[in-house]
Structure 1
Amino acid sequence: MPWSGGRGGRTAPSRGPGRRPGRAARGVPVKQSRKAYEDAKVHLHVLGEEHEVDCKVRVGRTAFHELLPLARSLSASILAITTAHARAEGKEISCQKGCTSCCRQLVPVSPIEARRLAEVVAAMPESRRAEVRERFVRAIERLEHAGLVDPRAPKGRAALVSREATPRAAWDDVSRRYYELRIDCPFLEGDLCSIYEERPIACREYNAVTDPALCEALDPGIEIAPRPVPMGDALTKVTAELTGKSQAGIPLALALEWARAHGKTLERERDGEAMFWALMRVMEEDGA
């Protein structure tokens, strides 16, 4: 079966009964003004506790990609909570600068992130842009040769190929086979992420608390800090809801190809506050 999607998890925001303009999660007021952004307070239920986090909501007609900064902000706030929780249990994040095992693992990105990565590459100086694009081409060629990508499928592919029948088994299958190829992330340069500020949410949320040697071996014993809100998955679901088209997480190696074929489907402007509430709703449905 084709594989697509994220690594699973639960989300848990809370909000009040009404979704009135000028109100954030659980009815907390958002300051009214004519600014492009409004300050909002969102109440989240994370690891059995209530937390209030601040964020900025784009108002008025706005591009779909404006959801990405909001999602990153919420993800960072939740990650701070879960990291503190892990440390309270005597665990430490073992991920360090120069540790690159996860940079060769299968990383799913949401459609909006795929489009953003294509924009980042397009903005690079010509010589570097050509080099990075060539890395993507070589990665896809290796995936095709390994039978993980169907070379006969139309361009804009968003799924890897597995013979497993269930989503969990398919994920485990393609994840293992992908890692066995040891394909460097196209953005990995000198054992460092060359687009660190633009890295996918899946990378931001993947924080191991076990020995890095387990990551190197892709050992089943790898433990990561809790991800009660897998924000990349939430973004994918919101994209499907707002575009009216089925969407799935995209393997990072296929991101540029997907963006060339389908990126324009995300260009239509929408109401910023409506997009905010759509994200809140998806997060709540997943876990609250």
Structure 2
Amino acid sequence: MLEDRQGFVRSLRPNRRVVRFELDIFGHPLRIGISFADRPAELAELVPMARQITDRITRLITRNLNFSGRKIACQKGCAHCCYYLIAVSTAEAFCISNAIFALGAQKRRMLIRACCIAGRNTIASIAQNPTTGQDTDQMDTLQNLSDWYSNLSLRCPFLADDCCQIYEYRPLVCREYFVLESSKPCAGDCADSSRRVNIPVSIAEILAETCCKLQGADNTVILPLAIPYAYDNPDDARRTFPAETLVRTFVETLCDNIYQNISNVEMTSFQL
């Protein structure tokens, strides 16, 4: 599954099907086309398309900020937000795990070991947190956990020398997180809501909800446990769905969340 608004993939493979829709991002139309083959597909195959859409949305937002005279503070070597606890969808957990196991042996072992250590430390720290689970609202619980976790100085297992070791396939949440420039340093302030860039639609949340609908359960995974989760759930990782079902569920979830900003949703078949 790929984002194919200009039809390049379809021109090479005319038997692929396409879902077209349009998003309104701060008054700018963003035309999107999702191309897919009519075959069984795994959840992880949703992720490349979700990354492409996320990157297009964030590029448009960044350009809009630049035009208004505001700038993003985030740059290579800035890793303060990499000490927050983040969650990924099961699709991303499977996709990131697949990418890591495809790496060379030395780097693969290094990242798997880092994940195992981070996972153990995270579980031990959460078990010692007396406030865990006291919030009735799931989003409040996740936010409070993340704020509490950041004070433990447990870095992301994929961070080394303040650089992301899986930048090409980093989580959607990381792709969507931006902080505006300020006279104050980012340290201890990157969660400041006044500096965070508002994302009108979170593809990370859309993908997580899509996975919940398809799997019939909320199996969102905290990032340090992504590889162990994928390893312990091989049947879920290999489970297939009709590609059309995956794409339609994703688009319908998107529509349900931002129906006021979406137009011209249609399914089109292309034949030779």
Both structures adopt the same fold (TM-score exceeding 0.5):
yes
Structure 2 counterpart of 1:116 = 95
Asked whether the equivalents of residues 111 and 247 of structure 1 are also in contact (C-alpha less than 8 Å), the reply is no
Query: What RMSD, in angstroms, separates the aligned Cα atoms of the two structures?
Result: 2.9
Structure 1 counterpart of 2:71 = 92
Q: 2:23 aligns with which of 33, 44, 60?
A: 44
Q: How does 1:247-258 map to 2 (within 5 A)?
A: 247-258=218-229
Superposition deviation, residue 218 in structure 1: 4.4
TM-score of the pair, normalised by structure 2: 0.80
Q: How does 1:215-230 map to 2 (within 5 A)?
A: 215-230=187-202
Alpha-carbon distance in 2 for matches of 1:180, 1:36: 52
Amino acid at match of 1:256: I
Structure 1 counterpart of 2:237 = 266
TM-score of the pair, normalised by structure 1: 0.76
Structure 1 counterpart of 2:265 = none
Whether 1:65 and 2:36 are equivalent positions in the alignment is: no
Counterpart of 1:146 in 2: which secondary structure?
Answer: helix
Structure 2 counterpart of 1:204 = 175
Alpha-carbon distance in 1 for matches of 2:165, 2:73: 20
Alpha-carbon distance in 1 for matches of 2:105, 2:147: 34
- Once the two structures are superposed, what CA deviation does each residue of 1:159-211 show, in whole Å capped at 9, x if it has no partner? x9433333343123211121111212111122211111111111111121133
Counterpart of 1:165 in 2: which secondary structure?
Answer: coil
Alpha-carbon distance in 1 for matches of 2:82, 2:109: 21
- Once the two structures are superposed, what CA deviation does each residue of 1:81-109 show, in whole Å capped at 9, x if it has no partner? 22222223321111011111111112221
Distance 1:59 1:227, change over 3 A: farther
- Count of residues in Structure 1 that have an aligned counterpart in Structure 2: 252
Asked whether the equivalents of residues 179 and 190 of structure 2 are also in contact (C-alpha less than 8 Å), the reply is no
Alpha-carbon distance in 1 for matches of 2:24, 2:189: 34
Distance 1:140 1:51, change over 3 A: closer
Whether 1:125 and 2:104 are equivalent positions in the alignment is: yes
Unaligned stretches of 5+ residues in structure 1: 1-23, 151-159
Whether 1:169 and 2:140 are equivalent positions in the alignment is: yes
Whether 1:80 and 2:52 are equivalent positions in the alignment is: no
Percentage identity across paired residues of the two chains:
22
Alpha-carbon distance in 2 for matches of 1:237, 1:226: 20
Amino acid at match of 1:251: I
Q: How does 1:267-286 map to 2 (within 5 A)?
A: 267-286=238-257
Structure 2 counterpart of 1:157 = none
Structure 1 counterpart of 2:185 = 213
Superposition deviation, residue 36 in structure 1: 6.5
Alpha-carbon distance in 2 for matches of 1:227, 1:259: 29
Alpha-carbon distance in 1 for matches of 2:32, 2:201: 14
Superposition deviation, residue 38 in structure 1: 4.6
Distance 1:89 1:146, change over 3 A: same
Distance 1:262 1:87, change over 3 A: same
Asked whether the equivalents of residues 80 and 186 of structure 2 are also in contact (C-alpha less than 8 Å), the reply is no
Alpha-carbon distance in 2 for matches of 1:220, 1:204: 18
Asked whether the equivalents of residues 85 and 222 of structure 2 are also in contact (C-alpha less than 8 Å), the reply is yes
Counterpart of 2:61 in 1: which secondary structure?
Answer: helix
Alpha-carbon distance in 1 for matches of 2:108, 2:15: 32
Counterpart of 1:170 in 2: which secondary structure?
Answer: helix
Which structure 1 residue ranges, 4+ long, deviate > 4 Å from structure 2?
30-40
Alpha-carbon distance in 2 for matches of 1:103, 1:36: 42
Structure 2 counterpart of 1:103 = 82
Distance 1:116 1:51, change over 3 A: closer
